[in-house]
Structure formats: structure tokens, C-alpha cells
Chain A
Amino acid sequence: MNKTQTNSIGFSLSSDRVSVIILLIPALIFCTIFIFIPAFWAIVGSFYSYGMTSLNDWKWVGFDNYIKASQDEFFWIALKNNFIIVFASIVLQVGVGTILAAILDRGIKYGKVIFRTIIFTPMVISSVAVSIIWLIIYDPNVGILNSILKAIGLPTPSMGWLGDPDISIWMIMIVAGWQNTGFMMVLILAGLQGVSKEVYDAAEIDGATGVKAFWYITLPMIRNIIIVAILITTIGAFKVFEFVYVLTQGGPSNATQVLGTYIYLQAFNLLHMGYANALSVVLLIIALILGWFQLKASRRA
């Protein structure tokens, strides 16, 4: 009897394994074609020098592209901007998203669905369309932002919102925040709705209400959701491209350059494909590290 069970279990396990492999094959094929092979060639290409119009003329340069990156001031500007975007996105998108979610969860009694829909709506619009709308809003000559500020007697930046290297990156952040905060809010709201009402009732008896309850009860209980939200935002901030490309193309004077746009500039405008590959590998390593954290955090959540 035991032998039969063992056989039966053994047979069942091996059949499961076959099923798993069969089910994984389509995903593996697509991953291989669209991720692993391009990533492999990006790594290989990063050790060569070649251009978009000289794809058959690869020159071995070893680690020169990586050394060049370490000495390239614009690469460091791009990397720094990515970190600024990470930090600002966490504050704007996760921070504001958490506050909005808390208000919708327990702060207001009526119109929750309407507010939730309005705040989430920018998320369903294409990033390029959002950027173009904000391009018009920021325009120094006909933009509504300058018109409002002038109407109430406030000064406007003389170089324009997107033309001033000191503020343009923050202007991009506002656009990204406007679009993505709604998604963070919905994510965190889902976590908040999972917190049992009894916990709040018990806390109320102990004197914890309002902000105190939010700080000591709500935040610890949705800690894992917030970690996931932070990681999603961080990875998104490192991948950012379309907002920067449409709004400033990395300008003025490379002030808003991020890794995505700088790689694009090197590959397709300056035709340094090998160097662009090296920069992509750096971005890939950062994304892998962040992805690993996200995976761990998701499992805990």
C-alpha cells in the first residue's frame, strides 16, 4: 500500500514537473527572444565600439566604454537625476498617494468613488499625451501656469519652467507625480481596506484616533504594501524616459538628462552604440538589484 502511494505520489510529482515545464515554455520563449538575447547582446556590445550605421564594423575596446562612463560628467548628471526622480517620486507619489488613500478610506463619508476615479484618471492617459498637455501648461508665452501667476502678481521664471536648468527636473517630477499618484493611491487604498475595523475600534478605546491612529495603527499594518509601492516607484523612476523626452529631450544643457534619454542620445543621435550598450548594462544592473528587492518585498507582503 505504502509502495503504491509512493509510486502514485512520485508519478504525480513528475507529471506536475512536466506540466510546469510545458506551461513555462511559451513564457521562456518570449523572455528569451525579447529579454535574454537582447540583454546578452547588450553586454557583448558594451565591450565594442560601433555605430548605428556601421553595425558590421565592431571594434573590441574591452572595458573602455565603462571607463568612459565613469569619466563622463553627463552620465553622472543622468544618474543623479534618476536618484532625484526616485526620491521625489517616493515623496510625491507614495507619500501623497498614502495621504489621499487614508482620506478616502476613513476621512470622507460621501463621494469616495467619484474622488477615487478622478484621482486615478490620469493613470489611464498615455504618458506622451500627458507630457504634451503639460508642455502647453508650462509654455512661457501662452501657458496657463504663467497666466495664473501673472494674474495674481507673482513672478515667473525668466528662462521658462522647462528652460531653466535649476528647476526643469522638478517640473518634470510634477508631471510624473500628477499621472502616477492615483495608481499609488489605489494600491495603498486596497491595503487600507484590508485593515480590520476592530483594530481601529480597539485603538479608539485606548485613545488613538485621527493622525495618531494613522501613524501607530494604519502605517505599520500596511507597511508591506508601502514597501511594494516604493519599489514599484523606484523601478519606474529608473526607467523614466517619455516624460523627459517629450518635455525637455534631456535639456536644457543636459540638466534633465536621465539614463534612459542619455542612452537614447548616445545610441541614436551620436551613434555610439557600444557606449550606449555599456550605459544600458549599468541600468540593467541597477534594475536587477531593485527587482530583487521588489521580489523579496512582494513575497513578504
Chain B
Amino acid sequence: MLTSPYLNKEECKMKYYFSRIWAGILITLLSFSFTSSSYAIDIKLWDLSARQGQDEFYELLKKEVKKYNPDINVIVTEWENEAYKTQIQLALNGDDGPDVFFNWFGEDSARLARAGLALDLTPYADMEGGYGSFISKGWQDAGAVDGKIYGIANKAVSKYFYYDPAFFDQHNLSVPTTFGELIDTCKSIKAIDPSIVPWPMGNSERWKLNHVITMLNQRVVGAENTKADYALTAPDDELFTNPKYVEAWEKVVELNENCFNDAPNATNPELTRSMFAAQISPMMYCGTWCGGIFASEGFTDFKMFRFPRVEGGADDGTVGFLVAEGLQVSAKTKHPEAAALVASINVSDTMALADAELRGSLISNAALIDQMEDAPHWFTFYVNDIADKSGHVNVLDVLLEANVSNAYLDMGTEVLNGTKSPQEAMDFIRKVALEAKAAM
């Protein structure tokens, strides 16, 4: 201990101890700052909540990511579908949003890219653990906007008619291959027992019928004829004027009269799933997520068929409903490389296989499907059928501009309620489309 000629011994002692205490505090603070800056990288990941296998899936993802970078902690938050649509937009504009987030690929993902809220992931394709080595060019393009990759597709959803083969066999009903046969099947089911709902429709959240009109537009109007209208690039005097659109709505009226339950606009979609799973209704149109739900409710002996072609329609019935889904990275993330790595590992061989096995997803890394052990029969059907389709159509509430999409959703309830005729519905949609186009 040094002494000073200006201080007495006690004062020197005190100064010595104080200097040691200060040094201790400084070392502690410095060590804390080094610890936090050199190691942990927290990556917040937002996803929709899933009914099965999600916890195990994300536990595995956390482990897989750590194999590439042990400092990355993946923090997963799950959201309900409707709440998520709003919350993600708010969060991406704030400073505390997710680094990596789920999105539907189409207008929803492209809008975020155009607004500069989604990170361009093109430079990360070929890094170590990058998505470029896991998914095909075609699947990479599902997340592309203007030639750049703004999202990594890890799965897709499609829709099919599910039916109860035991009921069909018992009553000598055959699987309909045309829209006319579908209506006849509904009539036959009602003739067997008028209390049976042939095809339960729960449109209280509006999107259920939107999926049906998506397919009817495809079958009746066709992809070539809808393209310019959907993109709002058709000339004003032609925009949504094709009379086939009205014909598609007329098919909805036919379905409502012959197939659907009463009060579809007041019926919950989950209830209709249960009606089929409980074998109260022999048929329903549902997503590829439904197979697992039916199985979890105890019904596995169902079969599927495609949305039938419409007689005289523009589509031969080989084009299917398909919405790609995946992860995007926030442009505001403080760790772009780590976030891109997490989104990439999500489509790695290990994770893709786990996604298919644990969550029942139709994965983008399709080459791995053969490696699945004990794949349920519906899963094999989806995979084979999607591969067999000549093309795919995206759902209108994801594909269309927000105002036009909302108009289609609203007109679905109006047509089902009979408060608007098919022609009035299309007149309204055209009016909204013209306004939306003018505002672009």
C-alpha cells in the first residue's frame, strides 16, 4: 500500500480500499458487458399455433440451430390465426417485433417486401446452413418478389373434399367428378335423410366460402382469364367484367340450396369439421391441415377427392388449390445473418422431415417424404395428388389486393344470405376493384 505525504495513514488506507472496490465494480460491469455482447443472440420467432407437434418441432429447431451457431437462442411465440394477421403488422413497424415470422406467400408476403419490412434473403441462400442447399429453385421462387427472395417456404396447404367411404358405399354413392355430379350427390344424400347436411359450411369467419369461390373461379373462369383481374392490371372497361365470374357465384347459390346447412354465415368452421369427424355429415371441403384434426377426433377412415371440374368451365379440373407458407425475416432485425440461418435451418432435411412427421405439414423439401415412417394415408394422398396437378391457384383472400379481397369476403356472406344476387355481388366487387386500381 502506497502512502501520501498529504494524507494520514487512515486516509491512505481508506483510499486504498475504495480504489479496490471501484476496480471490482468496473471489472464486474465489464465482464457482464462482454458476456452479453459476445455470446447470446436471441432470435424471436413468431408462428401460428398448431394443434399437434409444434412444441417438439421447435425444441428440435432450437437444437439444430445450435449445431450451426451455439450462441443463437430461438424464442418462439405462437399466435392464433386472426390475431396474428393484425399483430404482425403492428410488430414489424415497432422496435420490438420478431426477427423471424410466419407468413402466407402471396400478396401478404409481397406487401411486406415492397414496404421494406421484410429482409432480402437472397444473399443468405448459399451461406453455411443456407436454404439454397435444402429447397428447390421452384420452392425458393414461392417467396420471391421482383427476383429477390423475401421468404423461405417450408410448407404448403391445399384443400380437398373429404368423404366418408362407408356412407358412400352403404348408399351406392360414387365420388363426383363434375360439379353437376356433386350437386346430384348432395341431393341423393338429402333424399336418404333430409336431416343430414351433405356438406357442412361454417362461414362465420368469412374465409370458408372464400376458398370455395377461389376454386369455382378457377374452374369456371380459368387461370388465364382471371390473371389480369386479380392483379388489377386489366383495362378499366374489362376489369372483372367476364360474365363467367357471375356464373361462379351462381354455383355458390346452387351449393347453398342443395348441399350446405342452414345459416352457414352463423356457423363456426370448427363445428363443421367436428360434424364430419363425428360422421354426422358424409362430406366436406377442408384443408390439408384437416386430416390430422379428423384423426385426432377419432375418425381416420375417410378418403379424399379433388374439387370437381365444372361442365363447360375453363379448367379441366387438374389445377389445385395451393398456398405456400413459410418464414420471413424482419428488415429491422439486429442479427440478419442469425435470423436468416434460423429461417434456413427450418427447411433443412432434419427439420423438414420433423415438420411432416410432427406437424403433418406438406413440406417444401418434398424429396424427404419417402423417408417418413408410417405416413398416414391422407398424407400420402396429398403428396401424390399435388405432384400430379397441372398447376396451382392461390386463395383469393391472400392473393387479391386487400380491398378487393375484403369485397370478395363480404359478397360471400351476401350471396349465402341471398341479400345480393350473383350479378349484384360482381357489380360490387368490380366497383371496389376499380377504386383499388385507381388508388394504386
Q: Which chain B residue lies CB-closest to A157?
A: B263
Which of these, A56, A141, A252, contacts B417 with CB under 8 Å? A252
- The reply to whether A163 and B204 contact each other, CB–CB distance below 8 Å, is yes
- The reply to whether B417 and A163 contact each other, CB–CB distance below 8 Å, is yes
| Mask of A105-141 contacts with B, CB within 8 angstroms, 1/0 | 0000000000000000000000000000001001111
* Residues of chain A from 148 to 187 with CB closer than 8 A to chain B in the complex: 157-165
- The reply to whether A159 and B117 contact each other, CB–CB distance below 8 Å, is no
Asked if A24 CB lies within 8 Å of chain B CBs, one says no
Q: Given A53-B115, A163-B204, does the pair A251, B89 have CB atoms closer than 8 Å? A: no
Q: Which residues of B contact A55 (CB under 8 A)?
A: 93
Q: Which residues of A contact B116 (CB under 8 A)?
A: 56
Q: Given A53-B115, A249-B205, A268-B86, does the pair A163, B264 have CB atoms closer than 8 Å? A: yes
Q: Which residues of B contact A253 (CB under 8 A)?
A: 410, 413-414, 417, 419-420
Asked if B111 CB lies within 8 Å of chain A CBs, one says yes
- The reply to whether B266 and A254 contact each other, CB–CB distance below 8 Å, is no
- The reply to whether A252 and B111 contact each other, CB–CB distance below 8 Å, is no
- The reply to whether B267 and A140 contact each other, CB–CB distance below 8 Å, is yes
Which of these, A56, A160, A165, A270, contacts B263 with CB under 8 Å? A160
* Residues of chain B from 70 to 123 with CB closer than 8 A to chain A in the complex: 85-86, 89-90, 92-93, 111-112, 114-117
Question: Distance in Å from the Cβ of A16 to the closest Cβ of chain B?
Answer: 42
* Chain B: interface residue total (CB-CB under 8 A): 34
Asked if B406 CB lies within 8 Å of chain A CBs, one says yes
Which of these, B89, B262, B265, contacts A252 with CB under 8 Å? B265
Question: Which DSSP category, helix, strand, loop or mixed, fits chain A's interface?
Answer: loop
Q: Which residues of B contact A162 (CB under 8 A)?
A: 204, 265-266
Q: Which residues of B contact A251 (CB under 8 A)?
A: 206, 265, 410, 413
Question: Which DSSP category, helix, strand, loop or mixed, fits chain B's interface?
Answer: helix
Asked if B402 CB lies within 8 Å of chain A CBs, one says yes
- The reply to whether B266 and A161 contact each other, CB–CB distance below 8 Å, is yes
Q: Which residues of A contact B410 (CB under 8 A)?
A: 251, 253-254
Asked if A285 CB lies within 8 Å of chain B CBs, one says no
Asked if A269 CB lies within 8 Å of chain B CBs, one says yes
- The reply to whether A164 and B92 contact each other, CB–CB distance below 8 Å, is no
Q: Which chain B residue lies CB-closest to A171?
A: B266
Q: Which residues of A contact B420 (CB under 8 A)?
A: 253
Q: Which residues of B contact A139 (CB under 8 A)?
A: 266-268, 271
- The reply to whether A270 and B403 contact each other, CB–CB distance below 8 Å, is yes
Q: How long is the Cα–Cα vector from A157 to B263 in the complex, in angstroms?
A: 8
* Residues of chain B from 163 to 184 with CB closer than 8 A to chain A in the complex: none
Q: How long is the Cα–Cα vector from A134 to B187 in the complex, in angstroms?
A: 33
- The reply to whether B417 and A269 contact each other, CB–CB distance below 8 Å, is no
Question: Distance in Å from the Cβ of B267 to the closest Cβ of chain A?
Answer: 6
Subset of 25 A-B contacts with CB under 8 Å = A51-B115, A52-B89, A52-B90, A52-B93, A53-B114, A53-B115, A54-B115, A159-B263, A160-B262, A161-B266, A162-B266, A163-B263, A163-B264, A163-B417, A164-B263, A165-B417, A249-B205, A252-B265, A252-B419, A253-B410, A254-B410, A265-B406, A269-B86, A269-B402, A270-B402
List chain B positions with a Cβ less than 8 A from chain A. Answer: 85-86, 89-90, 92-93, 111-112, 114-117, 204-206, 261-268, 271, 275, 402-403, 406, 410, 413-414, 417, 419-420
Q: Which 7 residue pairs across A and B have the least CB separation, nearest first?
A: A160-B266, A160-B263, A163-B266, A163-B265, A53-B115, A140-B263, A268-B86
Give 5 A-B pairs besides A139-B268, A139-B271 with Cβ atoms closer than 8 angstroms.
Answer: A135-B268, A160-B265, A160-B267, A163-B265, A164-B263
List chain A positions with a Cβ less than 8 A from chain B. Answer: 51-56, 135, 138-142, 157-165, 249, 251-254, 265, 268-271
